[in-house]
Chains A and B, each alone.
Chain A
Amino acid sequence: MTPAVEFIHTSRHFGAVRAVDDVNLAVKPGEFFAMLGPSGSGKTTCLRLIAGFEQPTGGEIKIFGEPAGGVPPYRRNVNTVFQDYALFPHMSILDNVAYGLMVKGVDRQTRYREAEKALELVKLPGYGSRKPGQLSGGQRQRVALARALVNKPRVLLLDEPLGALDLKLREQMQEELKTLQRSLGITFIFVTHDQGEALSMADRVAVFNNGKIVQAGTPEEIYKRPQSRFVADFVGSSNVISPEAMQRMGGKAEWASLRPEAIRLVAEGGVPAQTLVSNFLGSTTRLSVEAEGVRLHVMLPAGERVPEPGETVRLGWNPADVHYMDGAA
């Protein structure tokens, strides 16, 4: 099947800065794809390359099999939801949403009808006559979404779409975006630095660092089997253990990650550790301990006795749960 978006040895260098460096990537049609990474890792530049705001300095990009080189953004059937929403302040909401149809020469009646429909889709029916300044952040976000979707793009790009929203709204929008994507069947590519958001929403995730993709896979793969220390560190709450410490704990002399919920407290044997502090999280309690000079997190199920700070405990785990990986940070 032709990928929706394909990067083939694509690079974007700004002078000596390698914002995107020899990236290979194939996003499947209809997929909800997340680009995850710290700021400056190249994920936003990748998005801009797809939208056409940047041109690759090396390699190429194909959109549904068609080479995108030299195609200006206004001739790509790809739309973007901008981080700051970029709603036109001088236009009403309806005109904002109808803008894409207007510049394509769609007649007034049709484009307003389509715009109204798009507003209904994002649950803002009847807001058309307001100005962007009169809406809340969450509402503006929905308008930006409607303005992009009304063009029926083959690919929708979302640049940190939920970054400016507060927690509750963010969780609600995460669900809505996911539902919307399923029902429309459009390929969504979204950029985020929030690993929780990426893991919970995406079908697949690409983790970026220094202009390269360091790992791509399903959220579960990324979470359970990080291929490098960087991914383990960035993606999660996983315990990252150095080769020396791992060896002293009875494992191989390699970098390893061990998920907190895989560690249990045992009565005998195991690895001795010093309790540092405990955090009550509701259904679980997160215990911080120090073993062999490494600080580890342990998840205690509710109901289990919580050791006092300073108390010595013994840690046990199934060796199969230890995930060895590349040491690159």
Chain B
Amino acid sequence: MRSDRHTASPALKIAAIGGLLFLHLPILLIFAYAFTTEEKSYQWPPPGFTLKWFGVAWERPDVWQALTLSLKVGAIATAIALVLGTLAAAAVSRSKFFGREAISLLVILPIALPGIITGIALRSAFSILDIPFSMWTIILGHATFCVVVVYNNAVARFRRTSGSLIEASYDLGADGFQTFRHVILPNIATALLAGGMLAFALSFDEVIVTTFTGGQQSTLPIWMLEELIRPRQRPVTNVVAMIVVLATFLPILAAYYLTRDGDQIAGGGK
């Protein structure tokens, strides 16, 4: 360890790589199961391989309904989170005012507290106000905890954008709206795109809050949860699980490449 910059001890190497494998192998296993011919159990090794479950999953209307609802909820919740998160970040970044810390805390709270608390709190509020469950109650919950990822990404970018750029724009004769359109927006665009993708990924995957704020509606995660508790056709679940993994990797990779020079992918949590 003295030769810190040169080589790591073999034990450290093994522990580090072992840890990474521990994180990745279970996910890879899903891919193998998507092709198994075994229907009734989780038998390993699979007795044979087949592509037929992709066709079966494709034909299932409940999967399509759940997927459609998830996409709708994710898109609308992300849009709301983008507006709210950007506004809050801009306000916090552009001026020092009383209560800035409180606003950061308020934004982070929905994700810092366990999801079940957010979920049950919203549910009890809905029942007090007699609001019937619908796609919109799900969206309400999702937007609430998605704000934080947009906010974190936008705040990080605002911090890196030098204040003199905005002053330079004013100085050259651009008014507030022109400055926003020509200077601020282009500078924060990739951070917002990354924040939006992460918000979408968060919403697309959310299950705990959704169990409390959705009525008869099933998002894809709710559909999966039901299959986990009461399996109907296990191979279909395997196929859907694999597709969900692939579908969430893409926005994460994209968000990484959009923000890698400087910002971290901010936020996280379920």
Contacts and interface: CB of A to CB of B under 8 A. Distances in A.
Complex: A in contact with B (CB within 8 Å): yes
Interface of A: 51-53, 72-75, 78-80, 82-84, 86-90, 99-100, 102-104, 147-148, 151
A61 B14 CA distance: 70
Given A52-B170, A75-B173, 20 more contacts: A80-B167, A80-B168, A82-B164, A84-B164, A86-B168, A87-B168, A88-B168, A88-B169, A88-B182, A99-B172, A100-B173, A103-B172, A103-B173, A103-B174, A103-B178, A103-B182, A147-B172, A148-B172, A151-B172, A151-B173
B173 A74 contact: yes
Nearest to A150: B172
Contacts, number: 66
A66 B169 CA distance: 23
Interface residues of B, number: 17
Contact of A74 (B162, B171, B186): B171
Q: What 5 pairs across the A-B complex have the smallest Cβ distances?
A: A100-B172, A86-B168, A86-B164, A103-B174, A73-B170
Contacts of B162: 84, 86
Contacts of B168: 80, 82, 86-88
Nearest to B167: A53
Nearest to A147: B172
Contacts of A103: 169, 172-175, 178, 182
B171 A73 contact: yes
Nearest to B190: A90
A164 B260 CA distance: 28
B167 to A, nearest CB: 6
A311 B181 CA distance: 71
A51 B171 contact: yes
21 contacts: A52-B171, A72-B175, A73-B167, A73-B171, A74-B171, A74-B174, A79-B172, A80-B167, A80-B168, A84-B164, A86-B162, A86-B167, A87-B168, A88-B168, A99-B169, A99-B172, A103-B172, A103-B175, A103-B182, A104-B173, A147-B172
B38 to A, nearest CB: 54
Contacts of A104: 173
Contacts of B173: 74-75, 100, 103-104, 151
A99 B182 contact: yes
A104 B170 CA distance: 12
Interface in B182-211: 182-183, 186-187
B125 to A, nearest CB: 42
A82 B178 CA distance: 20
A86 B167 CA distance: 9
A100 B169 CA distance: 8
A83 B165 CA distance: 11
Nearest to B166: A86
Q: Which of B164, B172, B175, B178 has the most CB of A within 10 A?
A: B172
B168, B175, B186: residue with the most chain A Cβ atoms closer than 10 Å: B168
Nearest to B181: A103
A90 B170 CA distance: 17
Given A72-B170, A84-B164, A90 B175 contact: no
Nearest to A98: B172
Nearest to A99: B172
A83 to B, nearest CB: 8
Contacts of A52: 170-171
Nearest to B185: A90
Contacts of A89: 165, 187
Contacts of A73: 167, 170-171
Contacts of A90: 186-187
B174 A79 contact: no
Nearest to B174: A103
A122 B66 CA distance: 62
A53 B167 CA distance: 7
A72 B257 CA distance: 38
Contact of A88 (B165, B170, B171, B178): B165
Contacts of A99: 169, 172, 174, 182
Contacts of B172: 74, 79, 99-100, 103, 147-148, 151
A149 to B, nearest CB: 11
A59 B173 CA distance: 25
Nearest to B170: A73
A88 B172 CA distance: 12
A147 to B, nearest CB: 7
Interface in B151-168: 162, 164-165, 167-168
Contacts of B169: 88, 99, 103
